[in-house]
Structure 1
Amino acid sequence: MSTAKELIEAFAKRQHEWHYPCPRCGRDVMDEEPARNAMSRRVNVQVCDDCGALEAFEDMPGGFQAPLEVWAIMKYPPRWGMLLQLAFVGRDSWSRPVYECGGRLYVDVDPRADRYPAICTKQDNDFDGEPCDPIPAGAEVEFIPHRDTW
């Protein structure tokens, strides 16, 4: 299972192959010229200028540093062309399979074996939370060790 830092650094190696949104905030404001973007203080990846300034404020005495798990790239890895590697962690109170990727929990809301996976994030990243946002259509998903179905 990969950590959020490892997943973000894997993205950073190919960040300039395409025009991606800012991995921290998710806004489509990254400059085409890499030298004009900010370097994150948390992980070796470029972020937009606003996020770079925000990280500088977070480093001031008394500042709160947002964990990497709340970055936009960790909420929706497929938007950044990343394979969503879902590791099975158990079944929630509705007997739906719950998976984890980079500290974020996901649920298969229709785990019937004859159906295509319907993967959503978990509300408030709570194991028994309600399904929240569906992953983007066409996202590549790998189930580890395999998809848990009914």
Structure 2
Amino acid sequence: MTAFISHTSIDCTNAYALSAWWRVVLDYAEDPDDPNEPGHEECMISSPDGRHRLLFIEVPERKQVKNRLHFDLRPGNGSRDEELARLISLGATQIDDRRNPDGTGWVVLADPEGNEFCILRSNAEVAAARSAI
């Protein structure tokens, strides 16, 4: 017997607002048969292929310490720097810059409720760096 991950749950103070923010960031969608609405205490979004789901659950406490689990995002199109600019324009906050002169590394960001996540180089950037060696 084995188990599988049904979805990833994220505690937050406003499930609707945070699910809407991540829906734009990840190009995910709501379930058309169970749409998210303002005031809902639980809001689910899914990847385009339906294989990954995020459930945002309202809790009374605000985030207080570093996440023990976080997302590492890789741009689907464009560069890490272009994706970084897009995420900041959507309301992310840059927390730390771990980029290295050789192009490796990542940037640590926080979503509108302070949940940390990282942005990595795109697959194209990684491949270009490997072919330059």
TM-score normalised by structure 2 residue count: 0.32
TM-score normalised by structure 1 residue count: 0.30
Structure number with the bigger relative contact order (C-alpha 8 A, sep ≥ 6) is: 2
